[in-house]
Amino acid sequence: MFFTVGWAVLVLVVVVPPLVVGPAFARSGLLVVPGLVAVIGPAILLDAATARRKGWRVAGGLVRARTWSGVREVDLTELATVRGWELLSKRGAVMFVSVVDRSDRWVILTVDEERRRLIADAVRRHGAGYVSPWAMGLLGLKPTRWYAAGGRLLGFLCVMIAPLPVAMFLAAALAQR
């Protein structure tokens, strides 16, 4: 429910202002607002499902995590999908691992070295339906070449920035109607 409402608000912020204001919106500096909402909004929704390093515990193979959108539980012995990525911040690289179990329960975890090994051990022992290549490298399950890691980071940045011009063009087209 949280994410449905979140996505609905994002779509309304991108679509409604150009329709209400009309062609003047396309000629104004406000055209950047839908683009910024399209970039920042999904990042905020993603952050709402992310458990911080101290916000999750593992007991008997069950991860229990506190997130903005509520408490989530995922069974590490029944992993279906594992994805991972790394973002750079002022404090250095921050590693995120998204885990989904076979019951379709999921959570995104901010991990440190110790917890990275914990998830890697769960993947080694119990397997997973799919482990992304980036997650394999981050979890130490497969060596990663420097150019592959750089290419993935560049691709991730492009995917994160792409909604800006798309939303701006969409808003401009809607304003011209």
| CATH classification of the domain holding 67 | 2.30.29
Identify which of 37-46, 78-87, 150-159 has the greatest average pLDDT: 78-87
Are residue 95 and residue 169 in the same domain, yes or no?
no
Residues 73, 12: one domain? no
10 Å Cβ neighbour count for 59? 7
At residue 145, the pLDDT reads: 67
79 and 112 within one domain: yes
Query: If we measure between CA atoms, which residue out of 74, 25, 30 comes closest to residue 51?
Result: 74
Report the C-alpha gap between 161 and 128 in whole angstroms.
Answer: 30
* Model pLDDT, residue 74: 92
pTM for the full predicted model = 0.68
Q: Are residues 12 and 88 in the same domain?
A: no
Give CA separation, 105 vs 35, 62, 63, in Å: 31, 11, 11
Q: Which of 12-16, 45-49, 75-79, 141-145 has the highest mean pLDDT?
A: 75-79
Strands (E), the chain: 50-51, 56-59, 62-67, 70-75, 79-89, 92-101, 106-111, 130-131
Q: Number of H helices and number of E strands within the chain?
A: 7, 8
pLDDT of residue 46: 77
Using alpha carbons only, what angle is made at residue 65 by residues 85 and 63, rounded to the nearest 5 degrees? 85
Angle between helices 163-176 and 32-48 (to 10 degrees): 130
Confidence tier at 24 by pLDDT (50, 70, 90): confident
170 and 88 belong to one structural domain: no
Domain total in the chain? 2
Range of the domain at 34: 2-46+161-176
Q: Binning pLDDT at 50, 70 and 90, where does residue 146 land?
A: low
Residue 17 identity (one-letter amino acid): P
d(CA 128, CA 106): 13
